[in-house]
Structure 1
């Protein structure tokens, strides 16, 4: 499973830090949208970096965006995070409308870093930084 995230967004960086702490199986890998790999993955999913307002999660040949991406990742973390699947009971148009509003305002509310997040040495191997056959 690959999470493609905005490496300059402080909210997104907080999400990645949360996932690093709670992904005990270490099956989640990461690519920032600012990296060549991140741009390649976005392109493959039919998305562009400019104006991007979604998290992209890729698992094999499938991909998810918006709240579906968040719910998929939380499910992958195992218990107790799998309980977030109750979120599927909320209709996607409502969930995703809130998601898009937060995404549009993420820099205003949480801030933006001038540089991309640098992973700690113990997590560096989980970040896709160069072009590869994914």
Structure 2
């Protein structure tokens, strides 16, 4: 059963959150990416919330982003603090990967490629992600061990 978090509880969790990943909770590819992050983030610095959550709507609206658009992943640095930063598409994905353990870490070098070129490839994958990787009817629930890392459940 999903428990609704009070705003104060979310605010409390955000205060101790360095990096928040907002992802399409029903996208098969996005959920695989979240699992990859969970498996390669031994320090546990990343927290997660689905783009379909109230928390994501609040953050994205604050930055003038349309919360209904689900074709990107977002990385929020220092959420709900004065120095909050938001990254999307390839900038978000590459920054996230660059902070993980594993061979994929080297992909961060692609940040040197101009964003329009990187995002063209990102958009091509985003356009077919449901067809290729599937779409869930509801956001999958994390394991009990990972549940505390998800701020929207």
1:86 is aligned to 109
User: Measured at CA, do residues 79 and 106 of structure 1 come closer, stay the same or move farther in structure 2, by a change above 3 Å?
Assistant: closer
> How many angstroms does 1:80 deviate by?
4.2
| The one of 30, 33, 36 aligned to 1:12 | 30
Q: CA deviation at 1:88?
A: 1.9
**Hey, what's the Cα distance between the residues in 2 that align with 1:127 and 1:96?**
27
Match of 1:116 in 2: 139
Q: Secondary structure at the match of 1:77?
A: coil
Q: Which runs of 4+ in 1 moved over 3 A?
A: 78-82
Q: Is the 8 A contact 2:40 2:101 kept in 1?
A: no
Please, which runs of 5 or more residues in structure 1 have no aligned partner?
A: none
The equivalent of 2:49 in structure 1 is 31
What's the TM-score once normalised by structure 2's chain length? Answer: 0.78
Partner of 1:57: 75
Greater Rg by CA: 2
Structure-1 separation of matches of 2:29 and 2:102: 23
Q: CA RMSD in A?
A: 1.5
Distance of aligned partners of 1:83 and 1:96 in 2 relative to their CA distance in 1, 3 Å threshold: same
